[in-house]
């Protein structure tokens, strides 16, 4: 993997790459799941590890960003709801790091090298598509969550966006990830529902509608940026390996259409979003 210089990993299998590659394509063409490093080419291994590490780092950084909201949530019922969401996210992170360990990756030494509590101090500029540190989290997880409206809008937007990305993982060619994602997916949908409950409540109340719109204006464009640019070479590689099923643009469109519908139901305005393709990263990422 090249993107993370402190994290050199390679397929631990003792079999020659050509043997593994042959076996891999046989299984992919037969619609069978890849189950172990012995069945992966070096390139498949690198791409798989890259995607799973992005998800793992995003889950952990996401959990830490939520922690203060256990204390700051508006009621004891909501403090418990936030604590449960934090627990879910740490569990998702642990599940993903365990999958990486099964590939021979020392995830604890990777985690020890990064500050997952780090957030950007924004004065004016948005990150757009830039990264802010050398962990592998999706860049939306570098932004601070400053208000309760931010917290619930993050779930409305980002958990929903992640859910659309995870739809592809549910059909992944890598069996262990595909099986693990089912429970994660169900929990992410509960987070989306929590966000929907609050965004609807705020949007339909005249005293909080503006606050909801302001939070949407902040988090919707940031979420639209997570999907990556259309028709990238990398996306083609992921699709060829069965690690993704759709083009980045299709996933983004399915997210946008769902948000547009909710906005029209609840009287919110869908914010403008313009892609900045010259700056965007190629990977197109997965997180929750
Ligand atoms: Fe989540
Ligand atoms: Fe998650």
Neighbouring residues of 26: CB distance < 8 A, sequence distance ≥ 6: none
Average pLDDT of span 191-198 = 98
Q: Is the pLDDT of residue 5 over 70?
A: no
Ranking 62-76, 82-96, 103-117, 189-203 by mean pLDDT, the lowest is: 103-117
High-pLDDT (> 70) share of the chain, %: 92
Residue 58 lies in a domain: yes
Pick the ligand that lies closest to the CA of residue 161.
1
Q: Compute, in angstroms, the gap from residue 268 CA to the centroid of ligand 1.
A: 23
- Could you list the residue range(s) of the whole structural domain that residue 221 is in? 46-124+137-266
Buried b (16+ CB within 10 A) or exposed e, 210-240: ebbbebbebbbbbbbbbbbbeebebbebbee
DSSP letters spanning 165-206: HHHHHTT-SBHHHHHHHHHHHHHHHHHHHHHHHHHHHHHHST
Average pLDDT of span 107-118 = 92
C-alpha count within 13 angstroms, C-beta hemisphere, residue 91: 13
Ranking 58-67, 128-137, 236-245 by mean pLDDT, the lowest is: 128-137
Q: Compute, in angstroms, the gap from residue 273 CA to the centroid of ligand 2.
A: 25
Query: Which pLDDT score is estimated for 4?
Result: 47
Q: Compute, in angstroms, the gap from residue 20 CA to the centroid of ligand 1.
A: 35
Average pLDDT of span 152-167 = 97
Average pLDDT of span 73-85 = 98
Residue 245 lies in a domain: yes
Query: Which pLDDT score is estimated for 132?
Result: 74
Residue 35 lies in a domain: no
Dihedral angle, C-alpha 88, 141, 152, 186, nearest 10 °? -30
CATH of the domain at 150: 1.20.1260.10
Residue 54 lies in a domain: yes
Residue 179 lies in a domain: yes
Q: Compute, in angstroms, the gap from residue 255 CA to the centroid of ligand 2.
A: 17
Number of independent structural domains in the chain:
1
Q: Compute, in angstroms, the gap from residue 108 CA to the centroid of ligand 2.
A: 19
Query: Which pLDDT score is estimated for 124?
Result: 55
Which whole-number Å values give the CA distances from 185 to 21, 91, 162, 177, 277, in the listed order? 30, 12, 9, 12, 29
pLDDT band at 2 (very low <50, low <70, confident <90, very high): very low
Residue 191 lies in a domain: yes
Predicted model pTM: 0.91
In this predicted model, which residue has the larger pLDDT, 147 or 121? Answer: 147
Q: Compute, in angstroms, the gap from residue 192 CA to the centroid of ligand 1.
A: 7
Pick the ligand that lies closest to the CA of residue 93.
2
Residue 288 lies in a domain: no
Q: Compute, in angstroms, the gap from residue 173 CA to the centroid of ligand 2.
A: 21
Query: Which pLDDT score is estimated for 279?
Result: 47
Q: Compute, in angstroms, the gap from residue 210 CA to the centroid of ligand 1.
A: 25
In this predicted model, which residue has the larger pLDDT, 196 or 124? Answer: 196
In this predicted model, which residue has the larger pLDDT, 276 or 38? Answer: 38
Q: Is the pLDDT of residue 135 over 90?
A: no
Residue 195 lies in a domain: yes
Query: Which pLDDT score is estimated for 3?
Result: 44
Q: Is the pLDDT of residue 273 over 60?
A: yes
Q: Is the pLDDT of residue 171 over 60?
A: yes
Q: Compute, in angstroms, the gap from residue 116 CA to the centroid of ligand 1.
A: 16
């Amino acid at each position: 993997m090249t993107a993370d210089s402190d994290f050199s990993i390679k397929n631990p299998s003792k079999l020659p790459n050509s043997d593994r590659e042959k076996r891999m394509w046989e299984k992919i063409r037969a619609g069978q799941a890849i189950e172990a490093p012995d069945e992966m080419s070096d390139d498949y291994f690198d791409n798989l590890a890259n995607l799973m590490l992005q998800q793992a780092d995003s889950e952990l950084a996401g959990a830490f960003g939520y922690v203060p909201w256990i204390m700051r949530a508006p009621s004891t019922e909501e403090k418990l709801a936030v604590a449960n969401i934090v627990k879910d996210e740490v569990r998702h992170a642990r599940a993903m790091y365990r999958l990486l360990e099964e590939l021979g990756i020392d995830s604890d030494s990777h985690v020890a090298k990064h500050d997952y509590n780090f957030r950007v101090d924004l004065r004016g500029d948005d990150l757009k598509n830039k990264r802010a540190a050398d962990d592998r989290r999706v860049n939306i997880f570098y932004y601070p969550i400053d208000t309760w409206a931010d917290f619930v809008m993050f779930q409305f937007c980002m958990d929903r966006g992640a859910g659309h990305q995870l739809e592809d993982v549910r059909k992944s060619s890598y069996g262990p990830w595909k099986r693990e994602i089912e429970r994660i997916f169900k929990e992410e949908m509960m987070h989306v529902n929590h966000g929907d409950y609050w965004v609807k409540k705020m949007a339909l109340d005249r005293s909080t509608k503006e606050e909801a719109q302001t939070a949407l204006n902040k988090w919707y464009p940031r979420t639209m940026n997570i999907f990556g640019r259309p028709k990238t070479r990398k996306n083609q590689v992921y699709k060829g390996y069965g690690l993704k099923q759709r083009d980045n643009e299709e996933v983004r469109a399915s997210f946008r259409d769902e948000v547009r519908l909710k906005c029209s139901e609840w009287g919110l305005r869908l914010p403008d979003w313009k892609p900045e393709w010259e700056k965007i990263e190629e990977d197109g990422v997965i997180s929750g």
